[in-house]
Structure 1
């Protein structure tokens, strides 16, 4: 423990690194040698001067309650290697940092963060400007909805042509047909449709049973099309879900929920244009699960990172939609703290039932957060090709997703379990279960698997 409450572990610090290169470089700076005038305060700030190649040391300051980072080095990565090294130095038990007021150069940045967090004042002129902006935004939204409707109608016709010609013929044109169809959906300003069409292109010829998989995905795409075209007759929550699945942006709605949110997992997925960071949280008091999404342009990591395994006292505002899993992170209070242990969990049977109920609200839901208690990783046998998680009572087995079976996380989970029942958190979906975190038997410390 330090003046700032719970001291992060080195694993939690390294999980914030944007890439392997930053992780390795930051580890080399995690000792006292290159640092001078380092310190911390009770408000969650950490600062220090790091010796670099130039005559002047780099000024590095971190707000751990965010977390947020500022460094005078020219790196465009957040956090940079200096911020990672400073956090590692702060987290070590070998040489506690001195407390006290932040130096002027660090206090200036910290003060600016606090001012920005309060938001701008709203004058009468500002309110008039907002009204004009709202009217313009409404007109843009109506125009976009019309274009999406045109794209959805065209896609319905293409799906009908595909099915009338037979799914077996879908293998002959190659991926170009699907890419051209996806480009049409991008032109229609429906990125959600475009993404699903691109996924269709990877199915033909992907292995035994691909026509059935293609039919299932076409059915879901058809359902989304029809839901959009008939959205005026849908319940408000389901209509909001449909708009979200089509890729129509929306702002968080409703009152903010303040809670101690335990950070359960954080991982990135990337394509040619975008890097998406998924952060799963669980509220200790509310009992809610929440998903925070953050994005970075191609080649750059998203800016938001939270310490996996700790709890953050913060406001979360849900986005509209039937499931309302996605939320926006708002104001944070104090510094991250140590949670009491894993969130409440259940059996494999209960997890499958929860996922099934969630599909009633959102039929296009790919992943639903569940915590399994007493789960045992089981290798493939003669009847099953994939790894499974079985209940200690052997009532039901949940297959591990094929892409997760190839990850080191599975072997890490096996090593933690040793064949004994283990508490596991992950995503349950139609392709199986993806393990993201685990708690070894008899411990409260989370081990990240993502």
Structure 2
């Protein structure tokens, strides 16, 4: 029997608020018939405006969705309504045999996944023996190196003129960013453009870190392999998921610590995990375009036994979820183990020692109390305190966190960095995870 998802998790799958509202109207038993649960899938038929009901099915392991309705939103309101019906405690029959239309869809998904794997392996094999691909890679490396040299000269020129003149020349950094795009170094481009809006009191630090990165790339061939991989990633080189998954994987029982969505042109979903055996932190990224939520969704507080492949780095964090998954997400025994604030700061220091451009590191704090003082919100264990990063979390969310704490220590997951701590998930006294609002 699949363990029911929380309503909060189901709503996080919606592509927009309109879909959440529409799905809420379909979360009662009235419009549904033929519902069932089995083989890792949930299905049902929803009465619509036509004579034929819509057939909706969810592969809970993905999750993935199928519906016969014409909606272009993904998942549609029917799939979301079905999940809300189930998560709300409605009686859904557990059956051993799936309807033919459900079994056919799941079989087609498996076949498509197998064919995709074969195609990816073929492309990787062809790329290794493709002289044209090697030439393109060499040409890009040369262009990026030239861009890095130009950027260092621009930074040195600005330092010679003085940072007080920065406001008068801020518009120039947009042009420098464009030059870095031409040099195929999007990481350098983004950091250069950010200089135009950097506060005066932090400007020298930003100059120094960007100068360090550009200089590191000019010597990338001399660096140790893991550090060289970090520099290439920071500059803007990417490693495909297929390539990452073709390397070694780490099997563990991964505790889902929390997730956050940020919306720009795309919706970016970040999901943090912690290995129960290895203690390793991992970050999964998933993206969704307009009208579709990011494909990957894991319920906070659950444990998933699976294989992860980590992107190469001096301090690996970003990972890809492998095909090796050993059962669905299960309920955790309790909150994850945590650190005291002083230990958390030391852990962040270790991360910076490995990767100087690390701005924060995922961390679980134990027995901390959120308090509001003259200098803002703090997280304290009674001995040491960490400031909450200003503006990272809405004020009402912090008051709700304080109310949930009620003056007692809570387990709190978030990102610990030089600008403060950003709370993401708290665990209440009963072990239930609570999302700390964005």
Fold-level similarity (TM above 0.5): yes
CA contact 1:12–1:309 (8 Å) conserved in 2: no
Q: How many Å apart are 1:164 and its aligned residue?
A: 1.5
Q: Note if 1:182 corresponds to 2:169.
A: no
- Give a deviation string over 1:324-377, Cα, whole Å, max 9, x none: 111001122322110111211110000000000011111111221111111111
Hey, what does 2:145 align to over in structure 1?
Answer: 149
User: Could you tell me which residue of structure 1 aligns to residue 15 of structure 2?
Assistant: 18
Question: Would the aligned equivalents of 1:16 and 1:306 in 2 still touch at CA under 8 Å?
Answer: no
Structure 2 distance, partners of 1:404, 1:183, is: 29
Match among 387, 409, 421 for residue 377 of structure 2: 387
Contact 2:393–2:423 (8 Å) recurs in 1? no
2:392 is the alignment partner of 1:410: no
Partner of 1:45: 41
- Over 3 Å counting, the alpha-carbon distance change for 1:248 and 1:112 in structure 2 is same
Which stretches in structure 2 are left out of the alignment for 5+ residues?
Answer: none
In structure 1, stretches of 5+ residues that fail to align are 204-209
Partner Cα distance (2:111, 2:28) in 1: 33
The structural deviation recorded for 1:268 is 1.5
Question: Does residue 426 of structure 2 align to residue 430 of structure 1?
Answer: no
C-alpha distance 10-406 of structure 1, shift in aligned 2 (>3 A): closer
Q: Which residue of 2 aligns with 1:274?
A: 266
Mapped to 2, the partners of 1:351 and 1:342 lie a distance apart of 17
Equivalent-residue separation in structure 2 for 1:312 and 1:188 (angstroms) = 41
Tell me by how many angstroms 1:100 deviates.
Answer: 3.7
Deviations 1:201-251 (A, max 9, x none): 222xxxxxx323111111111111011011111110000001111110113
TM-score of the superposition, structure 1-length normalised?
Answer: 0.90
Map of 1:207 onto structure 2? none
Residue 312 (structure 1) aligned to one of 304, 307, 313: 304
Tell me which residue corresponds to 1:223: 212
Structure 2 residue 322 is matched with structure 1 residue 334: no
Superimposed CA distance per residue, residues 52-96 of structure 1 (whole angstroms, 9 cap, x where no aligned partner): 234432221111112111222333333222221111112222423
Change (3 A) 1:404 1:172: same
Question: CA–CA distance in 1 between the matches of 2:304 and 2:259?
Answer: 14
Residues 405 and 66 of structure 1, relative CA distance in 2, 3 Å threshold: closer
Deviations 1:98-124 (A, max 9, x none): 42422222212211222344456869x
Please say if 1:59 is aligned against 2:55.
yes
List aligned pairs for 1:126-141, cutoff 5 A: 126=122, 130=126, 134-141=130-137
What TM-score comes out, normalization by structure 2 length? 0.92
